[in-house]
Amino acid sequence: MSRSLNKIQIIGNLGADPEIRSTTSGTRVATLSVATSRSWTDRSGQRQEKTEWHRVVCWDKLAEICERYLKRGDRVYIEGRIEYRQWEGQDGQTKYTTEIRAREMIMLGGSGDAGGSSRSGSGESYAPVPASDEDFSDFSSDSLAGEDDLPF
């Protein structure tokens, strides 16, 4: 039986404070806008930079931690999976979105400048925050044990 993997890891800065909401059943949901940037020198010697924006969705306790500790400019490590969703908007048009469903979040401190803001008072805070186990129950490391048909 072949396996597949949907895993993403990003390190970036929050472009805004987390957006927090609750579902009708009371589950907390945090939506983060995380920017990652890369820079390079093109063939003509000009310095280039590109920023990508990622929509990250955190659920339950992870959302509560985001609400309590994160703010615009904070640097974070996010690990999770990519999800594609579609729905019909109020205008009747089909809408699409791509988002990262966070499994783990690590607060890396402030916005990355020399003074770096941190809520812990030190220059950097390290706090791994896993999502609930049920979010990734379909893919566990135990399920890979003994696999010898991996292509690498």
pLDDT above 70 (res 132): no
**Alpha carbons 13 and 76: distance in angstroms, whole number:** 6
Query: What is the reported pLDDT for 147?
Result: 45
Per DSSP, the three-state class of 94 is: strand
Q: 134-151: string of b/e by CB count within 10 Å (b at 16+)?
A: ebbeeeeeeeeeeeeeee
- Note the pLDDT tens digit of each residue in 99-126: 999 999 999 975 544 333 333 333 344 4
Query: What is the reported pLDDT for 89?
Result: 92
Query: What is the reported pLDDT for 102?
Result: 98
- Note the pLDDT tens digit of each residue in 66-104: 999 999 999 999 999 999 999 999 999 999 999 999 999
Q: What is the Rg, in whole angstroms, of the alpha carbon atoms belonging to the chain?
A: 18
- Note the pLDDT tens digit of each residue in 3-21: 999 999 999 999 999 999 9
Positions of E strands within 15-116: 19-22, 28-41, 47-59, 75-88, 94-109
> Has this prediction a pTM greater than 0.75?
no
Query: What is the reported pLDDT for 49?
Result: 96
- Note the pLDDT tens digit of each residue in 32-57: 999 999 999 999 999 999 999 999 99
CATH number of 8-38+47-137: 2.40.50.140
Cβ distance 65 to 29 under 8 Å?
A: no
Query: What is the reported pLDDT for 27?
Result: 95
User: For residues 132 and 125, which has the higher predicted lDDT (pLDDT)?
Assistant: 132
Token couple for 97? 């979105």
